[in-house]
């Protein structure tokens, strides 16, 4: 199974930049999208059905904001939108699809860059997300949780760890949360197979950051420990330019 996670920063905008053509070449079995920024009636279903994909959306109440999706070539046994927590589910941040004994999640963690209020919201989300996932793990032990976590875990994951030490996305408490989350029984698939590789998945639109590769690795394909032995490949597609993010790929056997 080939799984790709991609924060498209507006699916309709990405389509205008050749996203569908890119998808036709990559042919993932499952595609997890974040920041779709559309409502169900705005989804260009025909484009993706022609490529052989079933689509499941979990949209934000606010138009043009957030939203996650899962596109899959195999129809899932079961799909769940949200975590049952209204303040998060209203923002369209969590979508799960079950395939046999494996569950794939597309998740979009909040950003805290707009100020203290959203940073506090982000920290609350991280706590509640972890509690929800650990409870889910009891009934669905084979979890693949892909998406934009909006956190760089270690200095290797960010171009300038010193100057960004007080930036949302690389704050000590966020990094500490990530360490704790991994210790509860999850594996960062890219880092597991590439312990010393410095590669990024997001670049600011300012200061020619992408041209100069001044990026952050904030998009992850996490798997539960029970899936660790099934990780075959994990890599990042830096050449995909439909967004300020790029895709991360996980292949499992």
Residue 89 annotated among the catalytic residues of the structure: no
Q: Residue 251 has what DSSP assignment?
A: E
Q: Residue 245 has what DSSP assignment?
A: B
Catalytic residue, candidates 148, 157, 188, 219: 148
Rounded Cα distance between 219 and 236, Å, is 9
H-only helix segments in 140-253: 172-183, 189-193
51-59: list long-range contacts, CB under 8 Å, 24+ apart.
Answer: 51/20, 51/23, 51/24, 56/81, 56/95, 56/97, 57/81, 57/95, 58/82, 58/92, 58/93, 58/94, 58/95, 58/106, 59/92
Rounded Cα distance between 151 and 161, Å, is 12
Which neighbouring-strand residues pair with 106?
95, 146
Q: Which two tokens stand for residue 143?
A: 């979890």
Give me the phi and psi of 150, to 5 degrees please: 55, 35
Contact of 93 with 80, CB cutoff 8 Å = no
Buried b (16+ CB within 10 A) or exposed e, 51-71: eebebbbbbbeeeeebbbbbb
Active site residues: 148
């Amino acid at each position: 199974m080939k799984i790709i996670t991609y924060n498209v920063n507006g699916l309709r905008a990405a389509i205008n930049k050749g996203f569908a053509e890119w998808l036709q070449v990559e042919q993932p079995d499952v595609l997890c999208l974040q920041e779709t920024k559309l409502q169900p009636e705005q989804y260009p279903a025909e484009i993706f059905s022609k490529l052989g994909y079933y689509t499941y959306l979990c949209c934000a109440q606010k138009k043009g904001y957030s939203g996650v999706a899962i596109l899959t070539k195999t129809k899932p046994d079961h799909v769940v939108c949200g975590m049952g927590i209204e303040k998060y589910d209203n923002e369209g941040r969590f979508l799960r699809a079950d395939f046999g004994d494996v569950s794939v999640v597309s998740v979009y963690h909040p950003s805290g860059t707009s100020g203290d209020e959203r940073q506090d919201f982000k920290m609350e989300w991280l706590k509640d997300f972890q509690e929800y996932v650990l409870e889910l793990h009891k009934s669905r032990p084979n979890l693949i949780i892909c998406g934009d976590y909006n956190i760089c875990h270690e200095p290797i994951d960010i171009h300038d760890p010193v100057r960004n030490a007080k930036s949302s996305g690389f704050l000590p408490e966020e990094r500490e949360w990530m360490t704790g989350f991994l210790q509860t029984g999850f594996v960062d698939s890219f880092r597991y197979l590439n312990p010393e590789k410095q590669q990024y998945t997001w670049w600011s639109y300012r200061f020619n950051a992408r041209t100069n590769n001044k990026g952050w690795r904030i998009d992850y394909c996490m798997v539960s420990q029970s899936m660790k032995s099934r990780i075959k490949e994990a890599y990042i597609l830096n050449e995909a330019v439909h967004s300020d993010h790029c895709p991360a790929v996980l292949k499992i056997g």
